[in-house]
Amino acid sequence: MANPVVLDAKKHHDLRVITKRGAQFGEAVHLVPVIADELRSLVLDYPICFIKDTETGQFGLYALLGFGEGENLYLNGDNWHASYIPLHVRRQPFLVANHTLNDNSSRSVAMVDMDSARISQSADQGEAIFDDAGQPTEYFKQMQRLLAKLIEGSQITSRFIQTLADKNLLEAAKINITLASGEQKNYEGLYTINEQTLATLEPEAVSELHKLGYLQACYLMLASMGNISKLIDKKQESHE
Amino acid sequence: MHQPIHSIVILGGGTAGWLCAGTIAARVKKEHATPPTITLIESPKVPTVGVGEGTWPTMRATLRKMGIRETDFIRECHVAFKQGAQFNQWTTGEHKDSYFHPLMLPRSFSDINLAPHWLNGNTGTSFADAVCPQDTLCINGLAPKNITTPEYAAVANYAYHLDAGAFANFLRRHCVNTLGVRHISDEVTQVNSHDNGDISSLTTDNHGAISGELFIDCSGFRSRLLGQHYQVPFKSCKDVLFIDRALAVHLPSPSPDTPIASYTISTAQDNGWIWDIGLPTRRGVGHVFSSAHGSAEQAYQNLARYAAQSGHDIDKLSVREIPIEPGHRTKFWQNNCVAVGLSAGFLEPLEASALVLVEISADMIASQLPATRSTMDIVAKRFNKTFLYRWQRIIDFLKLHYCLSKRDDSDFWRDNRSNIPSDLQELLALWQFQAPWDSDFDQAIEVFPAASYQYVLYGMGFTTDMGKRGLSKEQQQRAEFEFIQNRQTSQQLARALPDHRELLNKIYQHGLSQV
């Protein structure tokens, strides 16, 4: 269970965060939420698709890391075999929450999950958050920038997805793979861009998408689906 | 005679008129470079009847083809999901007498007829429960889909319960704003004709003469064009279906989280039956009865007692009395005029046949729309033949519910065991020794499939004697497998599907996605 607390220079003066990669830090997952701003970097390694939230039915943007629960085919020990690691993975164990103030306005504050395996138990392991003067370290400043980017990016991403859904540009991805063993697998619940609808949009709609940067994002997503074969290869290797 | 059809005029702005306008407009817009124009004239004075609050699953395709988002429809027409109908006290009239007619087909229906195996075996459950999971879902108050299920897609087959008034307005906005239907709110004062008897135009009070090549009469019970103008005779079926009167009332929901039944509840009374249709905001409840067998006062008392069970006092609510003339016109398409909806005919709402008839009529007009006047008579002939058959089959199917009843507590029920149409008599004779199957019907245009007959027959305790020929070991094993599979599916779905109202609330909040 997560145990998020608001960061405090005094209380967390000695807190250190382990920045290594690995399954022990909760990185053995087959899906990671991503933001549209990351598409350009993600497209080099990962298939990127839309997945529905089971509670709300709303689409979210995700990078696909494996084919089943707990399967991250990019992770090998403490090594992440990819040129880019999604922000959501790198932000751990920090998060942002909205705090309501006395005057009813709200402010986002940085928090840390004290139950995260990244919280170091010894003084000589991990990165400090605050320096001796109680000021944020370079490491933490970097994390703050990353969190800010995620917050802003997730709003932009919601608008991007909503626009595509309204224009009926999403479709269920049909992913059937055959492993070398002959085993066949179907993956359901993944959605991608409907290429045909995209290609037959009216010029005004194309222009509108282009101005918002959504058209490029659509093509990046379509291109990213080619990484499925990369993922299948990785799965084969892991079986060998 | 070879003049092209470039203008279609619809008279009447109820559900039938707007469903026709939307279905035809969407179709011609999709198919043609220069589609005919569609004009709908609606009298500002004539109120819509507003019956037809239950649909068939066909409505999903009807709305989708019109380009309507299911989310918008659900939000704006106070829609609830319908997964079937529950018939209470229809067979013996006893308190526990109840059966369910689900919308899903019996399991593996295209491969195996499970009815004889259910009759032969000992599943310990009702027919509906043995062959389909929907009874379980309904009893548990579950929705037929999830919030992640796309618009119009189903986990369990479904139709809708809706607010008929809101629905007509919703369709009008879509037809006018999106499909380019011209809407004229005016009174028609005169019907003008060509020499060959075709209607040339309709004279209106303030918009002059509205001319067209095809006129669709959706004017309701008064049947302004087909009945009044063309004098096409009305064929009553009151000798077979006695119901000729309805008392209708809306029962407001006591609270925003009152559970909503996802099935129509039909409870038999001494001289008719009571419908009960749950919407998020209210229940539409009404008593249809035979005025030859009982008085309106008696029906009112029955309705009052029924409403009182859920704490409603109908003396404080507005109860409407609606006369019903059961039957239909002897033809529906005359010259260049075709009637759809109440102007074509009406039957008691026992199996929600009113709206589905409008849908399939509109669909046939749209798909066979003659290009010129010269071919219209051929289409008209086909249309008349098809729909006369369909009306007859619907009358037969409704009669089935009555003639199978063993109730002996009133003349209404006793009289209902006579005057059985000959086609139905033959089928019943056949089914004494074989279970209904698709081959019993002219499938291409059938309204009620063999599955519906099975659900009603075996729900009402009809017995089919499989005789000495028996059932093969192989088929028995297959059937046993299907029964087990059905039980498992029922349990799985019961775990996977959300509460009915909870899903509706989520749809209001988040909407369903198109894919």
Q: Quick one: pLDDT at residue A98? A: 79
pLDDT at A71 over 80: yes
Confidence of residue B51 (pLDDT cuts 50, 70, 90): low
Q: Nearest chain A Cα to B512, which residue?
A: A57
Nearest to A56 among B510, B514, B515 (CB): B510
Share of chain B above pLDDT 70, in %: 98
Contacts of residue A167, defined as CB under 8 A and 6 or more positions apart, other chains included, come to A197, A201, A205, A209
Q: What distances in angstroms separate CA A95 from CA A135, A145, B381, one per listed residue? A: 19, 12, 71
Quickly count: other Cβ atoms within 10 Å of residue A186's Cβ.
8
Mean pLDDT confidence for B284-313:
97
Going B347 to B351 to B352 to B353, the CA torsion angle's sign is negative
A54: closest chain B residue by CA: B148
> What gap in Å lies between CA B483 and CA B490, rounded to an integer?
11
Nearest Cα neighbor of B303 from B352, B342, B270 is B270
Number of structural domains (chain A) is: 1
Closest CA to B63 of B174, B221, B207: B174
User: What is the pLDDT, as a whole number, of residue A202?
Assistant: 94
Residues in chain B with CB shorter than 8 Å from the CB of A158 are none
Average pLDDT, chain B: 95
Nearest residue to A44 (alpha-carbon basis) of A90, A101, A84, A93? A84
Query: Smallest CA–CA separation between B164 and chain A, in Å?
Result: 27
Find out whether the peptide bond into A93 is cis, omega within 30 degrees of 0.
yes
> What's the pLDDT band for B41 if we cut at 50, 70, 90?
very high
Tell me what pLDDT residue A239 has. Answer: 67
State yes or no: pLDDT of B49 exceeds 70. no
3-state helix, strand, coil in chain B (%, to 5): 40, 20, 40
The reply to whether residue A171 touches residue B506, judged by beta carbons under 8 angstroms, is: no
Q: Which residue of B has its CA nearest to A52?
A: B148
Contact yes or no for B127/B114 (Cβ under 8 A): no
Strands A184-187 and A175-178, sheet pairing: antiparallel
CA distances from A43 to A52, A63, A131, A232 (A): 21, 9, 37, 16
Q: Give yes or no for a contact between B218 and B20, defined as CB atoms under 8 angstroms apart.
A: yes
Q: In what order do the strands lie in the sheet with B214-217?
A: B182-185, B37-42, B7-11, B214-217, B337-339, B333-334
Backbone angles phi, psi at B372, to 5 degrees: -135, 165
Cβ proximity of B188 and B203 under 8 Å: yes
Q: Is the pLDDT of residue A10 over 90?
A: no
ipTM comes to: 0.84
Plot region of A45 (φ>0 → left; ψ -120 to 50 → alpha; else → beta): alpha
Q: For B190-203, what is the mean pLDDT?
A: 97
What's the confidence (pLDDT) of residue B406?
Answer: 97
- Inter-chain contacts counted by CB atoms under 8 A, chains A and B: 36
Looking at A194-198, B2-6, B75-79, B401-405, which range is the least confident one?
A: B2-6
Which residue reads 């494996």 in tokens?
A: A66
How far is residue B128's CA from residue B465's CA, in Å, rounded to a whole number? 19
Residue of A nearest to B147 (CA): A57
The torsion defined by the Cα of B63, B69, B73 and B74, in degrees rounded to 10, comes to 120
d(CA B102, CA B145): 15
DSSP codes of every residue in B321-351: EEE---EEES-SEETTEEE-GGGTEE--GGG
Give the domain range for residue A79.
Answer: 4-239
Most B-contacting residue of A51, A56, A158, A167 (CB-CB within 10 A), to test interface? A56
Q: Find tokens 């991608």 and name the residue.
A: A192
Q: ∠B162-B163-B168 over CA atoms, to 5°?
A: 105
Express each pLDDT in B17-31 by its tens digit.
Answer: 999 999 999 999 999
User: Which pLDDT band holds residue B58 (cuts at 50, 70, 90)?
Assistant: very high
Interval A93-124: pLDDT, tens: 999 887 777 777 777 888 999 999 999 877 78
Contacting A with CB below 8 Å, chain B residues are 146-149, 506, 509-515
B333 pLDDT exceeds 90? yes
The secondary element (H helix, E strand) that includes residue B4 is: none
CA A216 to chain centre: 19
**Backbone φ and ψ of A95, nearest 5°:** -150, 170
Helix H or strand E segment including B410: none
Of B220, B197, B211, the C-alpha closest to B47 is B220
In whole angstroms, give the CA distance from residue B261 to residue B476: 35
What digits encode the pLDDT tens for the residues A146-160?
Answer: 999 999 999 999 999
Task: Give residue-wise pLDDT tens across range B346-364.
Answer: 999 999 999 999 999 999 9
Chain A residues touching chain B at CB-CB below 8 Å: 52-59, 165, 168, 170-172, 189, 191, 194
Contact A54 B148 (CB under 8 A): yes
Q: How much is the CA Rg of chain B, to the nearest whole Å?
A: 23
Residue B515 is nearest to which of A56, A58, A170, comparing CB atoms?
A170
The predicted pLDDT at position B163 comes to 95
Please tell me the CATH superfamily of domain B7-50+163-237+327-392, with its number: FAD/NAD(P)-binding domain (3.50.50.60)
Cβ–Cβ of B148/A52 closer than 8 Å? yes
Condensed to tens digits (0 to 9), the pLDDT of residues B427-472 reads: 999 999 999 998 888 767 789 999 999 999 999 999 998 777 888 9
The structure's pTM equals 0.93
Return d(Cα B191, Cα B364) in angstroms, integer: 25
Kindly tell me if the per-residue pLDDT of B206 is higher than 90: yes
Residue B417 has pLDDT above 70, yes or no: yes
